[in-house]
Every structure is written in structure tokens, then in C-alpha cells.
Structure 1
């Protein structure tokens, strides 16, 4: 796979080539995604629940994202690594936002950051872009909206809501984002936004008309045990396979079947 850059993603949009984005939080997974030619790897704040055991993403810190971004950067050198800006990492003031985003780029090894929100995020995004930091936008069902609703809820279902999301998308485009996540919105609205803005759109539960699609790696592989949103397609069911392997190991240890002779090291004794 050739090196993925912001310019390359824009070329893909213009050529009608679909973009794939998945989450990763460690070196091994990042390497696997790059081998599969996934263009964008997102170090998402959802790692709080899936990796760190937090109840939600609110407790995730910049240091948490930094740690996992570094691991991803070690595993993938060609995919575009995008680091999530966690809760309150860029909302306090512009100086703090630039410092935190710069840390994720300079020390974390990410090539870009993701900032959620529409009009409220526009001024922050402009400051980050001005500082030379590529920014991915996020409209529709953002993590902040998910915290308010407590569950996945379709956004843009009414004409008024749809108009607001379209306006937000245009505002983010004008603020300088290089790409934009459209999450949990009607397919027709996603198609309209994709046609009317010049930057690539990445859909999460936004239908087939976006320039690219994204899923959480745990959902894709069937590693989680929590209920999955309607838009998730599970490509494997690894959780029961992993559990079965662990139970088999425990059984073999208890029964004295592991290690077997083929797992032993033996030294030949010298002849007397």
C-alpha cells in the first residue's frame, strides 16, 4: 500500500474510490490493518470502554490517546493515523486545544486529529489548521450527543435537523477539515452532504453514499459482548473462539496435558 496522505484521500474522493477506516489501539492490530490496506486508522476515545474498562469515553485523557497512538504508529507507517481529541481536550480554550493536538501529532505519531461538533467546534478547528495540524471533523451522532442520549439515536430525521447537520458540515468544510465523519444519519442526507462538500465523508451508520466507511474493530471482529447498533456488520465472531481456546488451555493445565513432550526442552546427557 502506498503512503496515505490527506491529498491521497482527496484524490480518492474525486476518482470515486471508497475509503476504509477502522479503529486500532495497539501495534499488532495497526500492522494487520495496514497489511489489509485500510487507508485510515482511528485511535478513538471509545478505547476508554473497550480497552481501559471505563464506563464511557468521558474519563479518557489526552495521555490515554497518546499512549495508544504511539503503539499504532509503531505498527503502521503507511496508513493515515488519526487521533481522537477526547472530552474537554480542546473545548477549554484555543491554546489548550493546539497544545493537546500538537502533542498527539509530535509525540503520538498521529498524522491528524479528530474533533467533534459543528458550529461550536469551528473556531477551534480553524486554530488547529492554522497551526498546521490536519483535522477530521465529525457531525451527526457525535460522542457528546451519545452521552446526552445514552444510546444510538438517528440524527437528522426531521427536515429542520437535516438542514442543521448540512449547515454544520459546510461550516466544518469552511473551517479547513480534510475529511468528515457522518454518523447515524439518514442515507439521503449523507448523500446530499457528500455531494455538496469538497472533502471526503466517512460514514458510520450513514448509508452507502459516503466516500468511505468506518467500523469499530471490536464490532467487526465480534470481540465485544455488548449490544451492537443496527449499522454494524460483524465479519467474524472471535469472542467465543477466544474463550474456547482459553478454556482448553485451562483444561490441559489442570489435567497435566500441557506442556506435552513436544513443548519441552531437554538436554542430552553425556555418555558415561
Structure 2
């Protein structure tokens, strides 16, 4: 299993870190077989596998349920689990209790929390022994305010993002995800920080990249962002299911090759 120290060494050696989201046993198993460095059990599961309208509807129970399946599928991969909306920012003691529950019950290697305002939360979790990955730039849990668009597009906003990145690192963040920010700004932040920086829509100068499993494989995706690249096409599933439906209706399936032979068995014999 990759450790945080190994990920830090990869940054220091300019070796890129790969990260992919996974939400269940088979996708996690595929990621581990592909030797992906890290898996993010993202709250994007709300839209990709649960049919929610946004990540805001995802619960702590949702995250635990899916993260446990991911850990079973990828026992030897560094797994990061999202802290869902509403599970942080209410009360320090309550926030920490939920963090402990999420970390312990999922057997995750780290938790991911969105926003630069969570420096005290990061400190509290670190003191408890829970590594936190900070998510800056476009933060999906806040799209009701920010919208789905490039962040830090002005000089002032860019400086604020630099300051935020330094602040969460100072608070104890073990890693940072930068989403939808200009590539030159992402490069500047990556060079300024000691911890690994993972980009999504942030150019290729970050220490690594993360994409959503369903985006990479075109699996039930209706819209893809500019920064997404497809490496496979699971949309064939619809065609395959339509073909299956057609053959059932026309009695083409099951045929002889997929049917047990009809026969009368004598005592002691076994069917094929």
C-alpha cells in the first residue's frame, strides 16, 4: 500500500501521482489492478451512482457504505474519503466525532474536506491522527455560490488562493486538490507547497491528477467538463442491454449453448 511518506517522496522526486474516484467494489478492484496510486471515494457518488442532483444531498452514511466497499476492492491502495456536506462546520466537537467515525468505519488512509475556512478542523483532525486532504478552487459543495466555472480568474482571487493553500498546509493538510484553476497559478502553488498537489482541471504542472471514474470511461455521463479525457467507452452497455432485451422477447435467448440438457437422471448421476 502506498503511504503518505511515499506520496511525499514522489513529489520530491517529480514523479507524478495518479488518482481516480471509485465508489464500489468492482471499480476499486479495477483501479488497484491498474496500479493507480490513490483512490478518492468522492461525494460525486451522489450524482454518478445515487442519482442525486448534487453532492449536497450525500450523507455520512452514504460515504461510509461506499467507502467500505471500495476498501474491500482495493485493500492495498491509498484511499481518501470525502467528508460530505453538513458533516463539518457545525460544531467542533460534533465535527470531530463525525471525522473519527468516517475515518475509523471506512478504514480510509485520509479524509478530504472542501474549503480554506476549515483550518481549525484540519488542525483538530491532525491532532487526533486523521490525515486531511484539502480541496481548494472549485469546490462542488459550494457550487450554489461559485457555480461550475474556472476559479481564481483575477489577480486578487489568485493571490487569495495562494494564501489559502499556504494556510491549509500550515494547519496540517497532508495533500491538496486544486480544481478548475488556471494552469500557471496551479504551477505556482505546487512549487510553493511542501505537500503533494493533485490537479483536476489545473494543468499538468501539479504533482498528480485526479479524474472521476465515470468520466474516464464514459459511463452514464451526460456532460463532461473541458478538462476530462475519455480512455474507454462504457456506453456500449445500453446497446448490449437492448440486444439482450430483444433476444429475450424473440426467444433467441437462451439458446442450446446456454441451456442445461433435459434428461432423466439415474440414481447417483449428476446433471451437466
One fold, TM greater than 0.5?
yes
Note the C-alpha offset of 1:269: 3.0
Aligned to 1:251: 246
Aligned to 2:174: 178
Contact 2:83 2:112 in 1 (8 A): yes
Aligned to 1:92: 90
SS at match of 2:251: coil
Q: Do residues 79 (structure 1) and 77 (structure 2) align? A: yes
Q: Do residues 144 (structure 1) and 120 (structure 2) align? A: no
Please give the per-residue CA displacement for 1:77-108, whole angstroms capped at 9, x wherever unaligned: 11111110011101111212221111122111
Q: Do residues 121 (structure 1) and 115 (structure 2) align? A: no
Note the C-alpha offset of 1:111: 1.3
Q: Where do 5+ consecutive residues of structure 1 fail to align? A: none
Note the C-alpha offset of 1:204: 0.5
Equivalent in 213, 223, 228 of residue 224 of structure 2: 228
SS at match of 1:115: strand
Equivalent in 200, 219, 222 of residue 204 of structure 1: 200
Query: Number of aligned pairs?
Result: 266
Aligned to 2:31: 33
Provide the rounded CA distance (Å) in 1 between the counterparts of 2:174 and 2:137: 17
Q: 1:270 to 1:162 in 2, by over 3 A?
A: closer
Please give the per-residue CA displacement for 1:150-172, whole angstroms capped at 9, x wherever unaligned: 4x211111110000000000001
TM-score in terms of structure 1 length: 0.95
SS at match of 1:156: coil
Q: Do residues 18 (structure 1) and 16 (structure 2) align? A: yes
Provide the rounded CA distance (Å) in 2 between the counterparts of 1:39 and 1:238: 23
Q: Do residues 163 (structure 1) and 159 (structure 2) align? A: yes
Provide the rounded CA distance (Å) in 2 between the counterparts of 1:137 and 1:245: 40
Contact 1:22 1:41 in 2 (8 A): yes
Note the C-alpha offset of 1:266: 2.3
Contact 2:113 2:135 in 1 (8 A): yes
Provide the rounded CA distance (Å) in 2 between the counterparts of 1:105 and 1:121: 17
Note the C-alpha offset of 1:117: 0.7
Note the C-alpha offset of 1:115: 0.6
Q: Do residues 130 (structure 1) and 134 (structure 2) align? A: no
Please give the per-residue CA displacement for 1:155-211, whole angstroms capped at 9, x wherever unaligned: 111110000000000001101111100110001100000000000000010001000
Note the C-alpha offset of 1:267: 5.2
Provide the rounded CA distance (Å) in 2 between the counterparts of 1:224 and 1:74: 24
Q: Where do 5+ consecutive residues of structure 2 fail to align? A: 267-272
Equivalent in 4, 14, 17 of residue 2 of structure 2: 4
Aligned to 1:265: 260
Please give the per-residue CA displacement for 1:111-165, whole angstroms capped at 9, x wherever unaligned: 11001111x1101110011100011011111113323234x21111111000000
Provide the rounded CA distance (Å) in 1 between the counterparts of 2:144 and 2:202: 19
Provide the rounded CA distance (Å) in 2 between the counterparts of 1:14 and 1:225: 36
Note the C-alpha offset of 1:17: 0.7
